[in-house]
Every structure is written in C-alpha cells, then in structure tokens.
C-alpha cells in the first residue's frame, strides 16, 4: 500500500473524533492507540522522506534540541536509519498530560493532516509507542528565528533578513486564515527555517477554527490555553475578553510584535511586570513597542523613550528599562518597515490589514523578486551550528517498551 493510500484511510479515523465530546480517559486511550493513531502523510516532493515509517526501531535519537508543552514534550534530532535522513522527533508523555493538553495534541495532529502549505510545518509521521506519542517532522537546520536571535543576532536582525522571515510566516498565516483558522501564537520561536531557506510556521496546537457545524463565526471568545508564555505577543482584544471577541486580525497584531522582536532581539514588554504589560496593551501604549532599539534616522533613543505622555510606569522605570540598551549604536530601518509596524499594531483590529493585503505591502516588494538563496546569504553557514556537527555526536538514546533513556545533553533551541 502506498503512503498516499495509507494516509487517506487513517485520516478519516482521526477526523471522526470530536474533541469536545471526549473524556480524559478516552482521549488518552485514542492517542495511545498505536493502530488508531499511526499515520503517514503523502509526499509533496522536495525535502521529504522517501519511505515513510512508523516504527521506533527506525529512528536513532542523537541529541535533545528543545522542550515544549510545559516540559511534557522533548524534541530530538534523530536519524531515520533506513534512509539516513535527519529528522526532528517530538516525544510526549501522554500519561502526564491533562485533558486540555490531550485535546491540544489531538487538535495539532488533525490540523497538520489537513493544512498543506509550503510555509506551514509538516508532520511526516505520527505514531504511539505505549504511552508515548512520537511526532516526526523535517529537521529545520537553522532552527527557529528565536534561536538565530539568541545565537547570532542578539541586538536584532537586519531588515533584509526580517523581510524574508516575515514574508514566509505571513504566507503560511494567510493560508490558515483563508481556511478559517486563527493561529494565536505567532512569535519568533514558531518561525522555523530549513536548510534550503524555506520558512515554516509551527505552533499548530494553538490554532482555533472559526468554522463550527458548517457555520463560520465572525468572532471568537475562547482564551488560548497555556497562553502564559505568549502574552507579550497576544493582541489587546484577546486579552480584553469582552463581548466583541476577536478574529483573524489578532494574528496580524502578533505579526507586528514579532517584527519588533526580530528587529530588537527581544520581544516588546518583556521588561515590564505582567500586570503592567496587560494594562499597557489594553489602554494602548503611550510609546511605540518598537522604539527601544529601532529608530528612524536622526532620532535619539532617549527622545523616543520619553513620549511626553505619562506611560503609567513612571519615567524612572522607563529609564531603567532602556538604559542598558542605550550603550549600543542606534539602528535604522526603512519607512516601509515602520509603516508595516504601524498597520499591524493598530489598536482597532478593523484598521489592521488582512494577511493577504500584508503580503502586498511595499516592505515585501523586494523579497518577491528574490530566491530562497537570498535568505541563505543572510544567515550564517549551517555547518557552524554546534548541534549540526553530527559526526561527533554519538547516538546515546535507547528506546524500550517501558520507557525511553534520553540523551543527557540539551541544546534547547526548538520550542513548540
């Protein structure tokens, strides 16, 4: 039987489950059922496995490269031994997952099987081994944009690199929006880059469908689960939780915050106490979220840090937040970049552009005329990454039916 035939048969079984009607025990039983869950995606060509397999014995774990899901999931660089292909494997302990997290896992499995776009992270194979869920996906050589910031661009990326990363992310986001989904977790750690310069969005376990029972909702009132870590990126309307709800435009706000994150090397509001950050977002900041590091030509940082209006946190705190970063030279960006930020970070979601309109923004004009090789020219050589020196990394993981002996070395640069 071909991979395509296998996928079609099992896909029906996966989508037949309605998460809202499942109990904790039934969800756990379903996710842990090797025969019910195991499926393989059809090949789309390109950098994918030639022969799909769903056996633990076919994967050789190399080193841990990240954590996620409140440390219930470990992400490993592994080798698919039948083909020698490097892959990323996420292994989740289902027994330790709450009902909400089991639903989130199921949601991601279903969505990754239905959303097929070059700029959305692909899951090659999903299967269960006892109470452990294995999710096999392409190994993204350059990891995430967040990792690039931490390792190579602590003061922020160049505008050219930001342009490429955002264009890929917004392209994937546009596809999601057109299919009735809100991502709700756009940030640098969910923007992954492959070895050939392909940008993909991950973080599918936060997605929310606007289509229910054949009807498309105009607004959502559901607050994202496990959202504590993504608060700085969330839009004011999601945080407000009022009668108006939120829609796909909330993702556009997150794109603006992510653009600031890529330009500054850190996410806006990160130096604020959480309560203060929430107040600033809800009432609208008296200073621009991108002002700390990114300034138009001829404007000083201190001038921008003092807007002339009381921010609610006091001038002394503002000075404290910016003083350390005032020591580095000012960085400049184009008017098109600032215009993009202003559009995305509008307080009124109706004033923000759609993802489709955003792709036509002047800021992205150049990237449309370039190739993926242009992105690679802006990145450090992949072989310089310490975790990619695979010749010196022995296989130190052994899987048994009673559990997994994981590598002790941790290279935490993937986050899901």
pLDDT digits (tens, 9 = 90+) for 262-292: 999 999 888 788 888 888 888 775 556 665 4
pLDDT at position 21: 43
On the CB side of 55, CA atoms within 13 Å amount to 6
**Which tokens go with 397?**
């993981």
pTM: 0.75
pLDDT at position 322: 36
Specify whether the CB–CB gap between 25 and 95 falls below 8 A. no
**Which tokens go with 226?**
């496990």
pLDDT exceeds cutoff 90 at 157: yes
The angle that helices 24-32 and 99-114 make with each other, rounded to 10 degrees, is 50
Structural domains of the chain, ranges and CATH numbers in brackets? 3-140+388-415 (3.30.200.20), 145-376 (1.10.510.10)
The string of pLDDT tens digits covering residues 105-133 is 888 888 777 888 999 998 888 888 888 99
Nearest CA among 39, 51, 58, 2 for reference residue 126: 39
pLDDT at position 144: 93
The string of pLDDT tens digits covering residues 80-94 is 998 888 999 999 988
pLDDT exceeds cutoff 70 at 331: no
The string of pLDDT tens digits covering residues 43-64 is 444 444 445 688 899 999 999 8
The string of pLDDT tens digits covering residues 204-238 is 888 888 988 778 888 999 887 766 778 899 999 99
């Amino acid at each position: 039987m071909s991979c395509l035939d296998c996928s079609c048969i099992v896909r029906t079984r996966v989508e037949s489950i309605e998460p809202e009607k499942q109990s904790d025990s039934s969800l756990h039983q379903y996710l842990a059922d090797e025969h019910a869950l195991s499926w393989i995606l059809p090949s789309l060509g390109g950098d994918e496995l030639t022969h799909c397999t769903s056996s633990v014995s076919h994967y050789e774990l190399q080193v841990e490269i990240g954590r996620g899901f409140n440390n219930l999931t470990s992400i490993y660089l592994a080798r698919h031994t039948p083909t020698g292909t490097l892959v990323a494997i996420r292994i989740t302990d289902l027994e330790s997952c709450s009902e909400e997290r089991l639903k989130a896992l199921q949601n991601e499995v279903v969505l990754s099987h239905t959303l097929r776009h070059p700029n959305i992270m692909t899951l090659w194979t999903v299967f269960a081994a006892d109470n452990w869920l294995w999710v096999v996906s392409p190994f993204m050589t350059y990891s995430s944009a967040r990792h690039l910031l931490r390792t190579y661009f602590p003061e922020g990326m160049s505008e050219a690199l930001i342009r490429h990363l955002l264009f890929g992310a917004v392209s994937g986001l546009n596809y999601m929006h057109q299919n009735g989904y809100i991502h709700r977790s756009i940030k640098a750690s969910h923007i992954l880059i492959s070895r050939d310069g392909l940008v993909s969005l991950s973080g599918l376990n936060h997605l929310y469908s606007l289509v229910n029972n054949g009807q498309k909702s105009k607004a959502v009132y559901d607050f994202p689960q496990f959202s504590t870590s993504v608060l700085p990126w969330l839009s004011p309307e999601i945080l407000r939780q009022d009668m108006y709800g939120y829609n796909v435009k909330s993702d556009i706000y997150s794109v603006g915050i992510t653009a600031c994150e890529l330009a500054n090397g850190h996410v806006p509001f990160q130096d604020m106490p959480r309560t203060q950050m929430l107040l600033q977002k809800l009432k609208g900041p008296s200073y621009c979220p991108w002002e700390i590091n990114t300034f138009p030509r001829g404007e000083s940082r201190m001038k921008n840090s003092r807007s002339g209006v009381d921010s609610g946190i006091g001038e002394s705190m503002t000075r404290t937040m910016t003083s350390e970063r005032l020591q580095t030279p000012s960085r400049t960006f184009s008017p098109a970049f600032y215009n993009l930020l202003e559009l995305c970070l509008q307080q009124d979601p109706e004033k923000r552009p759609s993802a489709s309109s955003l792709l036509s923004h002047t800021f992205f004009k150049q990237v449309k005329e370039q190739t993926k090789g242009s992105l690679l020219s802006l990145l450090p050589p992949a072989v310089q990454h310490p975790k990619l020196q695979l010749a010196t990394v022995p296989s130190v993981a052994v899987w048994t039916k009673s559990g997994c002996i994981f590598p002790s070395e941790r290279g935490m640069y993937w986050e899901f």
